[in-house]
Structure 1
């Protein structure tokens, strides 16, 4: 069926009239804003017919449907999709191989990342005593004193990070 075989003006007018009836019902039940919104949607079919946009939409829809049906039922197109997939796989694999080659050229050992240290570095925290805090018994760790002095919500996290040597 072609575009010219369909009586578009009566079809668009009927859809618009039905939409305007629904907009009146929406106006009465849900208010003016809802009614105006439905009326705006209802006027679009007649506007598309009068501006010629309906024929453009028909052409776009027919082209998309033709493309999809030729894609689904054509084995040559499926072989093109398979070749595209192979190209993507080759591209990704070559990226991994190139990254490995660059790491080896920098002198890194294979299998280990240059960013991950082997052991955490313990750095002394400035401004703190090595021994127990003032007014604290010698048996309790210094972490309890730091927790007691910090009133914010992140003091527990800060203590854990300090114990791990992360400042």
Structure 2
């Protein structure tokens, strides 16, 4: 009840200021001030103020906010400790036993020419012709641009 009274008083004061602004012939500013002044009264009439005061003055709600804050603090702290242990790189501190820094398939960057299957058996007798001319166009363009 007290919150609604405060909202109505704030609206009345805002409408008074809007009236003074209109008296000075600043009608656009007066209309804007009146619009802002009507918001607290509108909130009080719709029941939003009562709902908000029920949340603000309820101890169970504050305990819930405290738990959420504690959870966020724990997450941030554990993440910071994990980053500090790994040297700030964001990667895990220890490598898995037997893991190497190499790629899974080091030869995967080369195109596969298909050394198995029926098509490869037909080519088995002749030397492998790598498509060297395929990249000559790209090399020419890069050299033209000085790269």
User: TM-score under structure 1 normalisation?
Assistant: 0.42
Relative contact order, higher structure (CA 8 A, sep 6+)? 2
TM-score, normalised with respect to structure 2: 0.46
